[in-house]
Structure 1
Amino acid sequence: LFVFLFHGTAFLTLRLAKTSLILRCQEVALKTGAIAAIFFVLCMAMTLTYTDLFTKPVAAVALVGAALFFIMAMLSMKLGKGKASFLLSSAAIVATTVAFFAGLFPRLMVSSLNPAWSLTITNASSSPYTLSVMTVAAGIFVPIVLIYQSWSYYIFRKRVTAKDAEEHY
């Protein structure tokens, strides 16, 4: 939650035009970033203690990389570099996701009752017919979503100013 709050405020520093609002976003980002760092360390300690995630080298390296990316994102925010902060927090989120997927593979969900009952990729996969239908559906709808997203980013590409807010009242 706090990592994503930091990430959102880093994004706002890129979207806002008024300097006072950008400075407020930077303050909020640094506060939420400090809380996020504490919870991230707690998460890593609990992951090391209660799971076997760190036994896979890719997962361990990705988690350490995520921590380094996030620290660099906070330093960038402190220096007032919103774009670098946003990109580094994005990298931290991606690295954390990679770490957990790599560490869990081939499991999707670990059973707390018996590790043999864990949900794996094999026993969670769909039938060949379902996969065929979903491939066709994805082939149709993914381009539509990508076109819509591209259009949305194009429309909202400029920084938000006070004039923009006045025009919509």
Structure 2
Amino acid sequence: MNKRIFLLLPLLAFIAVGVFFYSALFSDPRELESALVGKPVPEFQLPDLLNPQQQTDVDSFGEGPYLLNVWATWCPTCRAEHEFLNTLAAQGVKIVGLNYKDEPAKARRWLAQLGDPYVLNVLDYEGTFAIDLGVYGAPETFIVDRQGIIQYRHVGDVNARVWQEKLADLYRQAGE
């Protein structure tokens, strides 16, 4: 009897690995689970990108709803989404920026050249706040409701299609 079980173990291990790879193959990498959905934005104390002498914290973001957008100048996808973020800001969508592991001077030049859609921009040079948020890379965008609770996490660029198909309704609901 023990020999049969011993012979079945490699087969069971093979099946388990196969199921894992099969599920990974057909999952959408932009649909990463976030342990923070349904929880408040984590506490932090970091400088303002445009005024580094001024410290910011979660209370600096003000009342929601808002988009918390993780971005960097070294990120080509961030550049691709930036024009649309300017469009959203012009339409009254509140966007808070989290400048992630970036050179502050480059980030300030970027905003001066491409426009600044952010009501506030937090400088996360070390990436500590991003780690607390569970950020894998840039860009990532979180929808935060009126109570400061994260309602949704989007990995990848925010563009017109993503906004219309996914984020616009969630943003509106976060304001209710």
Q: Which TM bucket (shorter chain)?
A: under 0.3
The answer to which structure, 1 or 2, has the higher relative contact order (CA under 8 A, 6+ apart) is 2
TM-score, length-scaled by structure 2? 0.22
Q: Which is strand-richer, 1 or 2?
A: 2
